[in-house]
Amino acid sequence: MSQTPTTTSRRELHARPDQEGQVTRLVIMGPQGAGKGTQAARLAEVFGIVPISTGDIFRANIAGKTELGQTAQEYTNKGELVPDEVTNAMVRDRLGQADVKNGFILDGYPRNAAQVTELDQILADLGWELDGVIELTADRDELLARIARRAEQEGREDDTEEAIARRLDIYAEQTAPLTAAYGERNLLVRVDGLGEISDVTDRIVASLATQLG
Ligand code: AMP
C-alpha cells in the first residue's frame, strides 16, 4: 500500500482565513483492521490536533506494567472491552490535559452506548462539542486479511485469532449501532476504508469539509 502523504492540506480544508487556528474535535470509529489508527494519525496532522487512541494508552500501560495496565490486560488479551469505569476515567483524564485544547481525534472511544453518554458528559463539563464522527467501513474478509498481515509485521500480543474475532463481533454488536445516534445529530460521515491510505484520507477530509461547513 502506498505511504504517499495526503495531498489535502489544512489550509485547503479551512479556506477561510478566519478559520485559521480553528479547534476541531473528532471521533473516528471502525472495526479493527479498517485503518482507524493510521487515518487518525494522518487526520491529526491535517487538522493540527492530538490523536488519542484508548487502545494505545492501554498498550503503553501494559508495557509499563502500571496498575491500569494490569487491569486492562485481562480484557485486551481476550478482545473484551475494558470496564467502562476504568476506560471513562482514563479518557476524562486525557481530555483534561493541556495539549488537547486545540482539538483532538478520539480513536477507539466511545465503543458502547454508556461511553457515548459519558463522552457527552465529559465534553459538556469542558464546555466543548464534537465537530464530526467518522465511520470507516470495510468488509469482514478484507479486515481479517489486513489484521493477519499486521499481526505478522507488528507481532501485537493481543492479536490472537480468538481475540480478533471477538473484537469484530463486539464492534458489530455494540459499536456500529452507535453511529446511528451520531447520524441523528448530523455529525456522522461514513467513508470506505478500502484503497490507498492517502486516498482514504482525502475522502475523509472532503466529507468532513462538507460536514463541518
Ligand atoms: P484497539 O487498539 O482500539 O483495538 O483496542 C485494543 C483493546 O483495548 C480493545 O480490544 C479493548 O480491550 C481495549 N479498549 C480500547 N478502547 C476501549 C474502549 N473504548 N472501551 C473498552 N475497552 C477498550
The per-residue pLDDT of the chain, averaged, comes to 88
16 a catalytic residue: no
Q: In what order do the strands lie in the sheet with 50-53?
A: 50-53, 103-107, 24-29, 132-137, 188-192
Find the 108 Cα to ligand 1 centroid distance in Å: 6
Name which of 18-22, 55-59, 67-71 the model is least confident about.
18-22
Q: Which pLDDT tens digit goes with each residue over 34-61?
A: 999 999 999 999 999 999 999 999 999 9
146 a catalytic residue: no
Question: Which cell numbers in the block locate residue 109?
Answer: 472511544
Question: Which residue is catalytic, options 167, 185, 190, 203?
Answer: 167
User: Which atom of ligand 1 approaches the CA of 108 most closely?
Assistant: 3
Give the pLDDT confidence score for residue 12 in this predicted structure: 47
92 a catalytic residue: no
Question: Which cell numbers in the block locate residue 11?
Answer: 489550509
Question: Which residue is catalytic, options 10, 78, 156, 190?
Answer: 156
- The radius of gyration of the chain's CA atoms, rounded to the nearest angstrom, is 17
Give the CA-trace dihedral at 59, 34, 177, 56, to 10 degrees. Answer: 10
Q: Which residue has the cell 477530509?
A: 205
For each of the domains in the chain, give its residue range(s) and CATH number, in order of start: 18-212 (3.40.50.300)
Q: Which pLDDT tens digit goes with each residue over 127-179?
A: 999 999 999 999 888 888 888 888 778 877 777 888 888 889 999 999 999 99
Contact 36 CB / ligand 1 (< 6 Å): no
